[in-house]
Amino acid sequence: MYRSSGAYHNSRAAGYTAGSGRSNDYSAKPVSSTSSVYSYKPSSSSIQPGTSATTSLTGSRSPSASYITTGANRSSGELSSVNRDADPSRWYSGSGRTYDSIRSADVSGKPVVYSLSNTSQPSAATYTGSSTRPVTSTVRPAGSYGSVRASVSSQPTESSVRLKTQPIYTSSYSLKPFTVNSTATSGGSAHFSTPAGTGSTSVRDTFSARGTPRTIASYASERVSEANQPTREPRTSSYTVPTRTYVNTRPTESRSASYHSSYPTSSSRPITISSRPIPCYDQPVMSSSQPETSSSRPITSPSRPITSYTRPVTSSSRPITSSSQPVTSSTRVVSSTTLTGARNVSSADGNARDEAERVRCGRLGEGVSGRAIVISDREFRNNNKALTTSNHQKHAEQLTTKNIDLHKDENRSNHYTDKYEHTNLIVRRGQDFDVTVIFNRPYDASKDTVTLQFAVGYRPQESKGTIIRVPVSLTRDYVYGAWSAKIMQTNQESVRLQITSPADAVVGRCHFYVETKTSVPGVEKETDFRYQHPEEIIMLFNPWCKDDTVYLDQQTSREEYVLNDSGLIWMGTAKRNRGMPWNFGQFEDVSLNTCLWLLERGQLGTAARANPVRVTRCISAMANFNDQDGGVLFGRWDNDYPKDTTAPTAWSGSVAILEKFWQKKIVVKFAQCWVFSGLVTTLLRAIGIPTRSVTNFASAHDSDASMTVDFHFDEKGKPLKDMDDSVWNFHVWNESWFKRPDLLDGHDGWQAHDATPQETSFGVFRCGPASVKAIKQGEVYLPFDSSFVFAEVNGDRVFWEVGENGSMKVIRIDKKCIGKMISTKAVGSDDRDDVTHQYKHPEGSVQERRAVEMAYKYSSRKDQAIYGLPTEDVKFSFEMPDDVPIGKDVSVSLKMKNTTYKSRTVGGKITAMIGFYTGISCEDLKEEDFEITLDPWEERSFVVDIPAALYLDKCKADGGLKIYVKATVKESEQRFASYDTIDFQKPHINMEITRGEARVGQDFEVKVSFVNPLPVRISGGKWYIETSGANPKSKEIPNSAIVPEGKEAQATFKLTPYRVGVCRVSVTFRADMLSGVYGMSGVRVRE
């Protein structure tokens, strides 16, 4: 599904700039406000080998005008030419995705003609062209193309062009791995040449030069060039790997280096792509006094083909993932030293010194020379005179800065940042903070001028608003929205300054400079001196500042949604739910470091980091790795997790995840919705945005923007699960509190966003932020992804009967089953706070139906005829038990009541399956048919028993039961269908201090335990512990004991508190047969 921001473009296109810094977002500046709509009907054509064919998409368009529109198309074959009217189009192809820009002088009433030729002899190919929704394009006067492109910020084109070919043979290539050693003398080069041989369609080379510190050059990739045309017989082609050269940039040191290559051995079809060399960059030395050590051990790269990407990236720290499909094309530009197989050498402090050497090409792709200035971050900063510092005094009377006292304790306390483990000064924007500057002599206002300078981002520039110069004055003239600095006190050489940042300042790390100028008699030009403080200042959002867009007016709410570093995430079902303890740990070093790093890794522009909408949208994308874009967590729902990974139910907090990610900047496996939500809460609270985790029970997954969730049965009552949409038992997303100046008035407050990779938004796995108020009113056209969230909480569940010939008819519509008990942790307590009323009006009310009707206007299903169902003469009620302990028998019943004066015969089927919380059914357990005759006004029940022995072996650790029912009244042909789920009750973990006392710096021992509820013994498994305010912050303890039925599983561990207050301990347990066992307790720590 493609999530769109709807009609928003029509009302705001002229002033809106789309995109979050990612390659699938586009921006435009239309030159006129006229719009035209193009609607194309699907068509298809078959093309035989060696021939060409044309097909057209005909629709209505506006009067004569020139226009440019952009659409995303997929092609797995070759398009020889594409024409609209008589004007050729330009095609940009890469990794199976094609973008077309179409120009025409007169489009009135003419068909759109696509011409293709089949080059994949001797296979036939099928062409399909279609448009799934009207395309809105901005019209501009003829002849004024300029550089304007159409915006897809709201109503993007969803037309597609596909050319499908079948592979006609398989080619195989091989070359044995090799290692070559050489030494590069000071200023010299080491050359590595590889022997000729047969090679594959994909080659990965890794190069390493080892010493202290370690140096790893960027990986390069080659492609086999085939000179022969494809034939039916396998063919082998030869090639030579190009020479690799490593240039030693050390001025006084020799370096030993090793070069290694490994090659995948198969390709599913031949390709012809030219070789593309990639430059290697040397990593700067951290300390020249450290001795060099050489090593010839190569760094090997994976031996499977490389996955293709169409988004160019400038740096990456993610592992290179393997894929069973061959590389067919690639536009990926790698210019960072951080990609070498699964290894990462980013600096530990998050500033990424190695990234300073990268060349940022952004989304320009390959071959940027001639259309962009290619320069590394380090070169850019070195060339920027505003960032240079003075290291000597030019005149005896010159005022120079000797030191700066940042008053960290005082400022951090005033800004509610004293809990952060960071030793830097952390302040919140829009609020005063004091510093004392120590000069070489007393400050003289008559001849001395002092200017403060703040530089933000990797490429600060005053014209971009990322270098801020603040003159120091004795009396501050406050200007709204501007920086200011006032002298509060002078004492000999010391001057105390009060600095105020604007409420919309850019968040992140700031380099702090003090520039002094002195007017010296007899010297025409003032002498200047610039001092840079060695520590960065970190700026955060400020929920305490009324002018900040994230302002939250209640102190109790700020304490809960900004300062509380632990909480509960609600799980289960609407009938039986519980709060899972989660350690957010937003004050840990790794939390803030990772958040700031992800904003950079997500290519969010520095100035855009002042906007919580853009920051939230970026974090929503970067919290997950499913785009393979360097994100943190990989989502997986198949209940099959390799031993070297962590199952989603094992996590008890965000700190362990972030520590594992931060070590190498590679993806952490695995996560599901509550893990993504807990992580996002941590990251956004760390940067100062009020955020909470929100759970929606009976959460719909609308995959086609129909605003309905469809379920299907055959005529005999068997569920057709392959055709169904899904309704999750629960789904967890996030809400953040901030204003929406980009929307009309009335949409400020909680904004819903979701990092769980369900569907893409503008081509990226992310969702939101969407105004909760807009969702309640059915305003699904407002950005971002409001329609998707609306369907999750307020869609209708539609049951269909599928006939033998495939025809379908609606048999029941349930308008009240989606979006139940939307929950979050209550402020100041561990109770559940029901926020359903914020998302939807009361079920069945006039306001609720009106909101649904509003949403349907923008849905893919405009047909409301499905809602006209006949009157029911038998009332059905499907009843499930609320609480079923794991390992106990289950009974379900269908109640039927005849409401007529005549007898009724009811027949049907009840089917039990193993299911997961995502609504996916995986295995049939039991099905029973029934036929019951009801006398007039009689009520009867049909009961199905499911013994524990039937489900226990198949259910695994994370499974539950999903029960379907379908019934038909023979006399009236009335039909009933429904389903429900059972989430088993799991034991709770008990905790107690068994030895020691909770004092700062002193160890104490904790015992955790629970009783085995299963009718079988538990063997193996692990305890997962997370703490806030104590060391270790995270810990895993294997369960070595065998725990029989009804006996206690237990473990003990030691903790050492490092701060006064409440130390919270979150514990989860997971084994092959049991998961979802958790507990949390708080321990008060004294001095």
Name the CA dihedral angle for 15, 16, 21, 24, rounded to a multiple of 10 degrees.
-130
Q: Which of 207, 280, 193 is nearest to 242 (CA)?
A: 193
Q: Which residues are catalytic?
A: 673, 731, 754
Q: Which three-class secondary structure state does DSSP give residue 272?
A: strand
Distance CA 761, CA 759 (A): 7
Contact 722, 732 (CB under 8 A): no
DSSP secondary-structure letter at 685?
H
Distance CA 693, CA 690 (A): 11
- What distance lies between CA 1047 and its chain's CA centroid? 42
Cis status of the peptide bond prior to 587, with omega within 30 of 0? no
Length of the chain: 1087
Q: Which of 946, 909, 968, 963 is nearest to 718 (CA)?
A: 909
Residue 105 is encoded by which pair of tokens?
């002088």
Three-state secondary structure of 99-122: EEEECCCCCCCCCEEEEEECCCCC
Given CA atoms 677, 681, 684, 687 in this order, what sign does their dihedral have? negative
SS3 content of the chain, % helix, strand, coil (to 5): 15, 40, 50
Contacts of 767 (CB under 8 A, 6+ apart): 3, 620, 733, 752, 753, 754, 755, 756, 758, 759, 761, 784, 785, 788, 789
Residue 571 is encoded by which pair of tokens?
């799980």
Contact 1074, 1018 (CB under 8 A): yes
Q: Which of 649, 658, 673 is nearest to 1068 (CA)?
A: 649
Distance CA 767, CA 789 (A): 9
Q: What distance, in Å, lies between the first and last C-alpha atoms of the chain?
A: 56
Residue 295 is encoded by which pair of tokens?
């090593």
Residue 481 is encoded by which pair of tokens?
């929205």
DSSP secondary-structure letter at 453?
E
Contacts of 464 (CB under 8 A, 6+ apart): 606, 607
374-396 as b/e: b if 16+ CB within 10 A: eebbeebbeeeeebeebeeeeee
Distance CA 641, CA 254 (A): 46
Distance CA 389, CA 391 (A): 7
Residue 700 is encoded by which pair of tokens?
């719909």
Contact 386, 467 (CB under 8 A): yes
**β-strand 425-428 against 537-540: which pairing, if any?**
parallel
Three-state secondary structure of 367-378: CCECCECCCEHH
Beta bridge partners of residue 208, listed in sequence order = 216, 258
Q: Which of 144, 92, 82 is nearest to 116 (CA)?
A: 82
* Cβ atoms within 10 Å, residue 886: 23
Contact 811, 799 (CB under 8 A): yes
Residue 572 is encoded by which pair of tokens?
């289960």
* Cβ atoms within 10 Å, residue 88: 13
